Structure 1
Amino acid sequence: MTEVIWLYDPAERGQSAEAWAMYRDLFTNGTKAGYIDLHDIGWHGDERLVRRNFEALWRIYAAAGARHLVVFGGAAGGEVAREYAGLVPGAKLTVRRGGR
C-alpha cells in the first residue's frame, strides 16, 4: 500500500511549500517518500503531459522504495486527486486543503 497525501488550494496561493514541508518531515524521519508538484511537471493546460510525467515520477520513486507520496495539486481537489491516485497501485488517498 502507498500513502498518497494530496494537498490543494482552490485559490492557488502557492501552498506547495506546505506540501514540501510534509515531504521533508517524512524524509527527515527516515520514511522513503516522493514529492510531486503538478505545476512543476508539465505545461499549463497539457493534462496528458502532466499525467505521463506523474506516472513516470511515481515509478522512479516506487523503484527506490517509496511507500508515501506527497502531491501538491494546485487548485485540483478531490476528483482530480482520485484520478491521479488511481495511477499509483495500492494507493490510500488522503486529500487536504492547504493553508489551514
Structure 2
Amino acid sequence: MIELTWLYDPGERGQSAEAWAIYSALFTQGTKAAYIDLNDISWNGDEQLTRRGFAALWRVYEEAGARHLVVFGGAAGDAVAREYADLVPGARLTVRRGGR
C-alpha cells in the first residue's frame, strides 16, 4: 500500500516547507518517499495538464520504489486531494491542513 500525505493551506502561506519537512523526515528514517508540490507542476491553471504531470511523476517515483508520497496541494483541500489520490493506485490518503 502507498501512503499519500496531502498537506494544504487555504491561504497558501508557504506550507510547502512543512510538507518538505514531512518528506525529509520520512526519507531520513529510511522510508522510500517522494514529494510533489502542485505549485511547482501547475500549468497556468490547466488542471488537466497538472493532473497528467502529477500522474507521470508518481509513476517515476513508484518505479524507483517510493512507498510514501507527500504532496503540497496549495489551497486544494479534501475533495481535490481525493481526486489526485485516485491517480495513485492503492493509495491510503491522509489530508492535513498546514500550520497545525
With normalisation by structure 2, the TM-score equals 0.97
CA distance in 1, matches of 2:57, 2:27: 17
Give deviations 1:42-62, integer Å, cap 9, x for gaps: 223110111011000000010
What's 2:26 paired with? Answer: 26
Give the % identical residues: 77
For the aligned residue pairs, the C-alpha RMSD in angstroms reads: 0.7
Partner AA of 2:47 in structure 1:
E
- Following TM superposition, where does structure 1 have runs of at least 4 consecutive aligned residues deviating by more than 4 angstroms? none
The DSSP-based 3-state class of the residue aligned with 1:17 is: helix
Instruction: Give the drift of 1:14.
Output: 1.1
CA distance in 2, matches of 1:29, 1:35: 15
* 2:92 maps to 1:83: no
The DSSP-based 3-state class of the residue aligned with 2:84 is: helix
The DSSP-based 3-state class of the residue aligned with 1:44 is: coil
Gaps of 5+ in 1: none
**Which range is displaced more, 45-54 or 78-87?**
45-54
What's 2:38 paired with? Answer: 38
